[in-house]
Amino acid sequence: MLARLLLVTSIGALAACNNATTVADGADGSRGSWVSPAVLAQSVALDGTAAWYTGYKDDEPHDIPLVNRALMRPELMRQRVEYTGGEAPGTLVVDIDDRFLYLVEGDGKAMRYGIGVGRNGFSWRGAARVGRKGVWPGWGPTDNMLRINPDLPTYMEGGLENPLGARALYLYQGDRDTLFRIHGTNEPWSIGEAVSSGCVRMLNEDVVDLYERVPVGARVIVRRG
């Protein structure tokens, strides 16, 4: 099992929706008295990184590594919360600044998930819809990503090392793919941080939960600033 857990962390810095260059909020990587796990993860050996995982959840074609929630801030855990926005039930609201994703349920409630977001200058905002969904999806960089980093692989099959994780929701405006995704991550310490090249990342177990709740066609609002 340990070997499989280490495999999850081995891909490191790909690009696109899973850039591993972590930028913490404060100059010292802290928010108040809380020290960012992203900073801690970079300062420990691989064995320490593997401590983020506690076991597996059955899934096909790959089991999902389960995250040690004791290493996360409580507010980043999936939970039902009071919600006073005016969006219709079934709407996804991505709050880039606060690093939460809300699935509006109605009756003043929403399911809230902690997320990792794009670093400064890389976050998209606007209204879209879920154009399609993927299970352990493959990933390929855009032409622009390859120009910036020609060493990137041109395509990766879905799996534990893939930067899109266990599930992905692809956002469209009309028939146009925005290239913005809501997806899983193999870097759980990045949840709550501004680290990626623009997309929204979630714990794999959380994105599976969201995938099962949200149909193709669901409205998505991404807001920041």
Catalytic residues, which ones?
Answer: 183, 199
By the 8 A CB rule, do 168 and 177 touch? no
List the Cα angle 140/95/116 in 5-degree steps. Answer: 45
CA 157, CA 135: separation in Å to the nearest integer? 11
> Which 8-state DSSP code applies to residue 116?
B
- Long-range contacts formed by 159-163: CB under 8 A, 24+ apart: 159/62, 160/4, 160/7, 160/8, 160/62, 160/65, 160/186, 161/7, 161/8, 161/10, 161/11, 161/186, 162/11, 162/136, 162/137, 162/138, 162/186, 163/11, 163/14, 163/15, 163/16, 163/17, 163/18, 163/139
The identity of residue 66, as a single letter, is: L
